[in-house]
């Protein structure tokens, strides 16, 4: 039996890692045997286990003074080493805030333990304001790259996988196959890719200050939250059409960020008072106080422009548009007592449009119209439904008569596990696939689909997005070039 240590039992782990382990672990020969979290979360975690009928596992609660985002304190290292030895830990799941990813991953690799870690690989406090913090993103990657390579020399079977679930999603796997198929006939690379993702989260002005789940108050925002997934998709797909003379070796990056102070101009305090008669009961701050607090906060929305190049020649143009503040289904002013992950009016919209010159266009759309409700299965596959996902494929049939000029693939055509146990969405099935693959790879020594070393390009784009934004704030040229 593969014994896993879960570091961080927050909203994401509660929704994904722990339930998957409880449900799928026994037949796949793995189990979470111990967890680590902060002392202040003890009551919340105990309540979660009890309400869901999960067996109590051993949990070590660290004091607030033992928290670290840079280097683990010696007493914490001792605690972790003791757990790893006593529980015969084989692998570690890291589901903390991204600021703490690196220190825990570095510890695990130093102990020869395989790692499954949430995205992004790292972020830094104040990354929207400081070039030093931005450079830290690359430093973090290189530090873990060095530690992983060293660990692999000692144990070639060690695994370091990143929870970038779209790489495990049957729709994206299918899209990559279609791109490769056309490339094999035409030698035409992806010539443009446009991605859009909206979390559909409407946060009240006070919540922007006080919420520490997917926060802005630490100087990072959407790109460091769900935005990494969309940033990762472009280089992951583009690599399918690289060949001699068409390799991507550098990218021009330009960012436009929308910050909390901009958001308060879009909808100001007076607007909120008109929308919610009882707004003042939950609003803690005046406009002046909010603007003072918002001054160094992270991005709410981010529109990114990319030019993927071979030397000085542009091969593919790309745009990745990321928003937290999108269409939602919220009509209450206070989020007290609500699930901040999916239970606060969040409604997801996602699309990708990929062109392969004159030969192929692929459109991926997944649009929800209401909050997730696992007890209501009516219309779940239709546009606006919880499981909606359509792929539209257009091909140059005049050039190749054997091709269809148009084909539509729905999520039901992809043979995924959706609806199994009311999994609440095809993205969650993809996350399950990532976890199961990780467990199998640790046991068998096989390669994973989202290996840490395959995320260097995505990390460089992520870094470039923040660097461009900081330079713009500084009044300098925000167009930058990053090399692969």
CA distance 55 to 39: 20
> Residue 90: what pLDDT?
96
> Residue 68: what pLDDT?
85
CA distance 385 to 379: 6
Average pLDDT per 10 consecutive residues for the chain, totaling 484 residues: 95 91 93 96 92 87 91 96 97 96 98 97 97 98 98 96 95 97 98 96 92 88 95 97 96 98 96 95 94 96 98 98 94 85 84 98 95 76 90 98 97 68 66 95 95 98 98 98 95
CA distance 329 to 309: 40
pTM of the model: 0.94
> Residue 419: what pLDDT?
41
> Residue 329: what pLDDT?
94
Scored b (16 or more CB within 10 A) or e, 413-451 reads: ebebebbeeebbbbbbbbbbbbbbbbbbbbbeeeebbbe
CA distance 75 to 63: 11
CA distance 466 to 418: 35
CA distance 342 to 201: 9
Q: Which domains does the chain have, with CATH numbers?
A: 2-163 (3.40.50.720), 165-425+452-483 (3.30.360.10)
Report the chain's C-alpha Rg in angstroms: 22
- CA distances 419 to 349, 352, 377, Å, are 20, 24, 9
Who contacts 209 (Cβ-Cβ below 8 Å, separation ≥6)?
Answer: 217, 284, 285, 290, 293, 294
């Amino acid at each position: 039996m593969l014994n896993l240590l879960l570091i961080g039992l927050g909203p994401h782990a509660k929704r994904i890692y722990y339930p998957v382990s409880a449900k799928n672990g026994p037949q796949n020969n793995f189990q979470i045997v111990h967890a680590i979290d902060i002392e202040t979360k003890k009551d919340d975690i105990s309540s979660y286990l009890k309400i869901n009928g999960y067996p109590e596992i051993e949990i070590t609660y660290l004091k607030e003074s033992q928290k670290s985002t840079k280097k683990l304190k010696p007493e914490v290292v001792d605690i972790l080493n003791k757990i790893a030895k006593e529980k015969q830990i084989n692998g570690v799941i890291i589901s903390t805030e991204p600021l703490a990813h690196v220190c825990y991953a570095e510890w695990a690799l130093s102990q020869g333990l395989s790692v499954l870690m949430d995205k992004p690989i790292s972020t830094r406090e104040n990354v929207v304001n400081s070039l030093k913090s931005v450079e830290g993103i690359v430093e973090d990657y290189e530090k873990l790259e060095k530690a992983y390579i060293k660990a692999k020399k000692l144990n070639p079977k060690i695994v370091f996988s990143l929870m970038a679930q779209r790489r495990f999603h049957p729709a994206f796997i299918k899209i990559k196959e279609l791109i490769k198929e056309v490339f094999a006939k035409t030698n035409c690379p992806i010539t443009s890719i446009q991605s859009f993702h909206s979390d559909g989260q409407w946060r009240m002005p006070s919540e922007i200050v006080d919420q520490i789940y997917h926060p802005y108050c630490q100087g990072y925002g959407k790109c460091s939250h769900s935005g990494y997934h969309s940033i990762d998709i472009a280089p992951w797909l583009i690599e399918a059409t690289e060949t001699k003379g068409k390799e991507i070796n550098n990218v021009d990056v330009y960012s436009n960020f929308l910050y909390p102070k901009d958001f308060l101009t879009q909808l100001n305090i007076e607007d909120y008072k008109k929308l919610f008669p009882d707004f003042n009961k939950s609003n803690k701050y005046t406009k002046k106080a909010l603007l003072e607090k918002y001054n160094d906060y992270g991005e709410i929305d981010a529109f990114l422009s990319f030019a993927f190049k071979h030397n000085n020649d542009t091969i593919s143009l790309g745009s990745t548009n990321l928003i937290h503040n999108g269409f939602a289904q919220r009509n209450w002013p206070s989020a007290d007592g609500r699930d901040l992950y999916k239970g606060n009016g969040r409604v997801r919209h996602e699309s990708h449009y990929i062109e392969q010159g004159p030969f192929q266009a692929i459109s991926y759309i997944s649009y929800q119209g209401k909050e997730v409700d696992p007890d209501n299965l009516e219309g779940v596959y239709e546009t606006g439904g919880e499981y909606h996902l359509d792929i539209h494929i257009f091909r140059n049939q005049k050039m190749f008569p054997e091709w269809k000029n148009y084909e539509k693939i729905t999520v039901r055509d992809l043979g995924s596990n959706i609806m199994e146990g009311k999994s609440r969405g095809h993205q969650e099935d993809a996350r399950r696939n990532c976890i199961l693959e990780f467990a199998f790879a640790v046991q068998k020594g096989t390669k994973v689909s989202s290996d840490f070393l395959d995320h260097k390009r995505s990390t460089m784009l992520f870094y470039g997005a923040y660097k461009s934004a900081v330079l713009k704030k500084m009044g300098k040229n925000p167009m930058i070039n990053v090399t692969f």
